[in-house]
C-alpha cells in the first residue's frame, strides 16, 4: 500500500524537484499539495505548484492554497529562486487561489486517521494554523517530516537560522512543541548533498530534462551569488528521498525548541544535545544520507 502524504510547500526550484521525485517514484498516494508563502508570494508558489503538476500530467492531485503571510511577521522571500519563485521557467499559468489549505489538511487527516504523513518543505505556517484550529484532529497525523533548521552548522538566513524556520519561527515553535512524531531534515545533512549541471544532463527523460536544465542553470547561478556554492542545493528533494529510503539515513533524537525573540538568533533550532536534557526528546534528526545513493536514485527515478 502506498504511503498517504500531504506535501506542504512553497515552490521554489528544490520544492518543484521534490514534487517531481515524489510523484514519479510511484511510492506515494499524494492526497494533496498545500501551498504557503515562503520562497515567494502565495500567488507565485501556488502557480508554481500547479505548473509542475501540469508538467507531470498529474493535475488530478488537488492543490490548496494557504497562508499568504507568516503568523506574526511580514514575509521575507528567498533570493535564490528569483522574482517568480521559479527563475528560468517563470510560469504564466493562473494560481487559482482557494485559501482552504488548513481546512483540507484537517479533513484529509480526519478521514484517514494515523495514516497521513505531512511532508513540510516550507515555513510551517499552514501546519501551525491547523494545530491551533483543531489540535485533536492533528493528533491523528502519522508523522510530520520537516525540511528545516540548522543544528551544528551555520544558518543560511542569519548566523544560526535556516530559511524555512527563520521566515515563521512562531509557527515552527508551535509545530515542534506539538506531541506527534516528527523528523527533521536540517542543513546539516542537506549541505552534504549537492548536484551539478552534469548530473541533471544524465536524466534520460528528455522532455523533463530540458525543463529541469532551464530551471537549474539560474538556480545554480543564484546560489553561487547568494551562498557561495556552485551547485544545486537539494534541500527538499533530499527530504522526500528520506521518506522514500529511510534505511540509508543516519539519525539521532533530541529535544528542539525554536528561538523567536533573539536579536541575533531568531529562527534558531535550539537542540538540547546534553547527556541529560531537561525536556523529553521531540524530534528525530537526520544527520547523514549518502550522496551517491541519493544522486543515483534521483536520476533513475526522474529518467522514467
Q: What tens digit of pLDDT does each residue of 79-113 get?
A: 999 999 999 999 999 999 999 999 999 999 999 99
SS3 175: helix
- Name residue 147's beta-bridge partners: 185
Q: pLDDT tens across 229-280, in order?
A: 999 999 999 999 999 999 999 999 999 999 999 999 999 999 999 988 889 9
- All domains of the chain, ordered by start, with CATH? 3-302 (3.90.245.10)
SS3 267: coil
- pLDDT exceeds cutoff 90 at 285: yes
Report whether 258 contacts 268 (CB < 8 A): yes
Q: Which of 23-32, 121-130, 220-229 has the lowest mean pLDDT?
A: 220-229
Residue 227 has pLDDT above 90, yes or no: no
Strands (E), the chain: 3-9, 28-35, 63-65, 116-120, 143-147, 182-185, 194-195, 232-233, 249-258, 269-272, 283-289
End-to-end CA distance of the chain: 21
Q: What is the pLDDT of residue 273?
A: 94
Grid cell, residue 76, equals 521575507
Residue 226 has pLDDT above 90, yes or no: no
Measured between alpha carbons, how far is 42 from 244 in angstroms, rounded to an integer?
28
pTM over 0.75: yes
Q: State the pLDDT at residue 278.
A: 87
The yes-or-no verdict on residue 205 having pLDDT over 90 is: yes
What pLDDT is stored for residue 284 in this prediction? 98
Residue 75: what pLDDT?
A: 97
210 CB contacts (<8 Å, ≥6 apart)? Answer: none
Determine the average pLDDT of the residues in 181-210: 97
Angstrom distance (rounded) from CA 288 to CA 266: 26
Looking at the chain, the whole-number percentage of residues with pLDDT higher than 90 is 97
Asked if residue 86 lies in contact with residue 215, where contact means CB atoms within 8 angstroms, the answer is yes
Q: Each residue of 117-176: pLDDT tens digit? A: 999 999 999 999 999 999 999 999 999 999 999 999 999 999 999 999 999 999 999 999
Amino acid at each position: 500500500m502506498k504511503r498517504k502524504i500531504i506535501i506542504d510547500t512553497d515552490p521554489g526550484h528544490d520544492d518543484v524537484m521534490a514534487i517531481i521525485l515524489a510523484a514519479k517514484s510511484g511510492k506515494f498516494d499524494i492526497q494533496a499539495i498545500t501551498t504557503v508563502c515562503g520562497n515567494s508570494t502565495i500567488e507565485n508558489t501556488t502557480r508554481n505548484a500547479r505548473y509542475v503538476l501540469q508538467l507531470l500530467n498529474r493535475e488530478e492531485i488537488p492543490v490548496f492554497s494557504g497562508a499568504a503571510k507568516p503568523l506574526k511577521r511580514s514575509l521575507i522571500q528567498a533570493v535564490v529562486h528569483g522574482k517568480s519563485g521559479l527563475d528560468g521557467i517563470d510560469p504564466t499559468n493562473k494560481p487559482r487561489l482557494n485559501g482552504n489549505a488548513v481546512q483540507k489538511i484537517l479533513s484529509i487527516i480526519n478521514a484517514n486517521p494515523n495514516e497521513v504523513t505531512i511532508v513540510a518543505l516550507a515555513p510551517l505556517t499552514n501546519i501551525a494554523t491547523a494545530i491551533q484550529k483543531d489540535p485533536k484532529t492533528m493528533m491523528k497525523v502519522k508523522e510530520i517530516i520537516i525540511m528545516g533548521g540548522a543544528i551544528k552548522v551555520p544558518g543560511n538566513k542569519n548566523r544560526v537560522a535556516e530559511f524555512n524556520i527563520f521566515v515563521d519561527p512562531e509557527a515552527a515553535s508551535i509545530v515542534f512543541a506539538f506531541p506527534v512524531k516528527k523528523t527533521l531534515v536540517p542543513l546539516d545533512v542537506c549541505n552534504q548533498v549537492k548536484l551539478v549541471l552534469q548530473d541533471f544532463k544524465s536524466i534520460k527523460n528528455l522532455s523533463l530534462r530540458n525543463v529541469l536544465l532551464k530551471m537549474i542553470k539560474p538556480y545554480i547561478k543564484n546560489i553561487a551569488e547568494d551562498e557561495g556554492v556552485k551547485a544545486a542545493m537539494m534541500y527538499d528533494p533530499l527530504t522526500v528521498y528520506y521518506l522514500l529510503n529511510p534505511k540509508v539515513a543516519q539519525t539521532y533524537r533530541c529535544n528542539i525548541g525554536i528561538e523567536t525573540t533573539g536579536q541575533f538568533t531568531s529562527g534558531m533550532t535550539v537542540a538540547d544535545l546534553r547527556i541529560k536534557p531537561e525536556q523529553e526528546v521531540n524530534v528525530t534528526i537526520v544527520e547523514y544520507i549518502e550522496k551517491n545513493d541519493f544522486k543515483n536514485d534521483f536520476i533513475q527515478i526522474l529518467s522514467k
